[in-house]
Amino acid sequence: MPEQRTQREIIHDGLHTTEALNVLGTKIPAASLLAITERAVHILNKSVDPIAGPPEQPSDGLLYGLIQSGKTSIIQVAAAMAADNGFQCILILTSDIDLLYDQTLERMQQALQGLRVLGKNDWKDPRRFERQLRNPPFVIVCSKNGSKLGSLLEAFRAAGARGVSALIIDDEADQASLNTYTAQGGDEVSRINGFIGELRDFFKVNTYLQVTATPQALFLQNPEHRYRPSFTVLSEAGAGYVGGYDFFGDPDKKLLRTVPIEEVEELKTTHQPEPTAIIPVGLRTALLTFLVSATARKIESPSKSYAFLCHVSVNTRDHNHIVTLIERFKEDIHRILQTDNTRQYEQLIAELKLAYEDLTKTQVGLPPFEQIIQKIKFFLGGANVKLINATSSDEIKLTSTYNIFVGGNKLGRGVTIENLLVSYYGRNPKKPNADTVLQHARMYGYRQNDLGVTRLFLPEKLAEHFTLIHDMENALRELVQKYPEGKFEILYISSPLQATRRNVLDPNSLVAYVAGESINPRYPLRTPEVTEHTNWIDDRLKHIGDRENGKEITVDEIMELLKRCPPDPEEIGELWNLRTIGTAMEMIKKLIGNKAYLVVRRGREAEARRGERKGILSGGEEVLAPKDAPTLFLYRQEPTRRGDVAVWWPQLRFPEGNRNYVLSFSINNKSEEAEEI
């Protein structure tokens, strides 16, 4: 980065920033506000200097947060701070879903009350829009819709606004912003990606900040790609945040309740000529648990309302069917509760008692069960069952004590559901994308006070997927923390998941290390300067005989040996790059520890070049070391031709066992070399 981006002093207590913090301070603790301010300062430090003129190189980066962890608050403060530090235009690109767009616009208007915040209809009149731009700074919130982006670009052009300095904040940047034609090759770009690219090119002075909690697709872009972030600001959750560990990292899984996957399939009407009219047992239990949970909280906090989420399908027919089932369930329960001393009543009370007892395992001090039953009788008649999908106009607002939301994608990425206590999740694609599944984790958020009465109902298979994704996310965040400038390649992907949708990735630049596979350089460098390395390894390994099985060493020792085995630069491939291998080995250490094996053989005379996955082992040598840790096979090659020197030719085998994984990375296919760390 040019020095101007890191050396200038950032104004962090300007009028707009102070007002934004005052607004947020009504809901957010002081310690969290301090962390938000620090992240905003970091973003502005990495941004272009809006007063210094066009930068020497493009400025682009990533704000990488956790699901439901308050990224919007950082956006609000960063926008205010940008205005205080000379940016004339803060352009926020957000979802094309009206529900989410309105949520973003409202939040920006609340926090940026000293700035004009223009919505997606405010540039229809070119003259009026031009007048608005005459008095910067200003904020524009535009949906990622081709027509809206195109009309905004034309309005900027008509207003002659190219000299305006802009901070472009692309919320959920991994979703609609990337080129969906990338996998096809060629120069064609998808419509939204094309307009965002034109906006980035239009402003002479701009910083493009991507924002997401799932950056897999961004980090798997070609290292030289303009949508691969060049710096990352890692945001951490504040006090009271409930995330992946609480649901999937905890060995006891205290908040999870499993349901049969066959039950979830019963709820999907698409392939059923006569869908069931009976609510499945697991969904019934989840709803009864919610009634007890929400009522217990209502007794303690009479002014609050609570939410239940059902997310099992993207099909609107399925949603309508589930809404019908839940509405009938509500009516039946309400009717039964009004008729004491019947068999149905006694059975229902027994079910509610089981739900109550289950909640006592994680929540002490619940109100008396009898009091909860009386309150359920009173509040249930006003319960709302809301359909939230593309065909409905319902809002995600808590309008009664019990609010039950049913839907698909509209309930996924970006939406915040206040006071969500119980979720029933069943999305089960054949090839799940890690980033998409993680975006469905609406149960995450600032829910510590309600954690004891929180439950997630889902099939065991899907719980395993979330657990794998939790591990993957932790590994990625550790990697980003170590390399905030974006100079890393490896993404840990645990099978059967894939990192992201394939259409936004260049298949010619994607490479992977797979559990259990072996890689090797195509040919070792055999020039006189390598003799020093050969002698060093000879001395280091002199105590290991040629007939020994694998000797236990460490991953760190493997990397030390590999540095003494340079490949022939004329035979450079895609897989054998020490920096990439080093990152992969760091990931392996996090997964299974520092343990490794070394197999040594001498007196070899191989001359033929080898493919990087073809191997250099002789028959049967694979069994010389266990497969539970990485193994380095080192073969001493004797001189066979004039000018040759003795060298060590390595082959590295990745471990396998209980973990079935892929370590995926993207290379610059122009140079055929992985980017340096």
Q: Tell me which amino acid residue 276 is.
A: T
**For residue 659, how many other CB atoms are within 10 A of its CB?**
16
Segment 549-557 mean pLDDT = 94
Percent of the chain predicted with pLDDT > 90: 58
- Residue pointed to by tokens 């290292």: 223
> Cis before residue 496, ω within 30 degrees of 0?
yes
Q: CB–CB of 246/97 below 8 Å?
A: no
Lowest mean pLDDT among 12-21, 416-425, 533-542, 613-622: 613-622
pLDDT at 270 over 70: no
Per-position b or e across 155-191, b if 16+ CB within 10 A of its CB? bbeebebeebbbbbbbbbbbbbbbbbbbeeeeeebbe
Q: CB–CB of 12/40 below 8 Å?
A: yes
Q: CB-side exposure of 375: number of CA atoms within 13 Å? A: 19
Lowest mean pLDDT among 208-217, 282-291, 635-644: 635-644
pLDDT at 1 over 60: no
pLDDT at 525 over 50: yes
pLDDT of residue 564: 96
Lowest mean pLDDT among 30-44, 71-85, 550-564, 579-593: 579-593
Q: CB–CB of 533/589 below 8 Å?
A: no
Calculate the alpha carbon distances from 327 to 277, 386, 401, 612 in Å.
12, 10, 16, 60
Segment 407-424 mean pLDDT = 84
Which of 466, 473, 476, 498 is CA-nearest to residue 586?
A: 476
Q: Where does residue 70 rank: exposed (0-12), middle (13-18), buried (19+ CB within 10 A)? A: buried
Helices (H), 500-577: 531-540, 555-562
Please tell me the distance from the alpha carbon of residue 677 to that of residue 674, in angstroms, as a whole number: 9
* Strands of 402-407's sheet in order across: 256-258, 455-458, 420-425, 306-311, 402-407, 384-388
604-631 pLDDT, tens digit per residue, is 888 788 888 888 777 778 899 999 999 9
pLDDT of residue 271: 62
SS3 352: helix
**Token pair in block for residue 529:** 């300067």
Helices (H), 256-342: 261-266, 281-300, 316-337
5-17 pLDDT, tens digit per residue, is 445 789 999 999 9
- Full-model pTM: 0.82
pLDDT at 259 over 50: yes
pLDDT of residue 152: 96
**Summary mean pLDDT of the chain:** 88
pLDDT at 566 over 90: yes
Percent of the chain predicted with pLDDT > 70: 94
pLDDT of residue 3: 37
Which range scores top for mean pLDDT: 11-25, 507-521, 560-574? 11-25
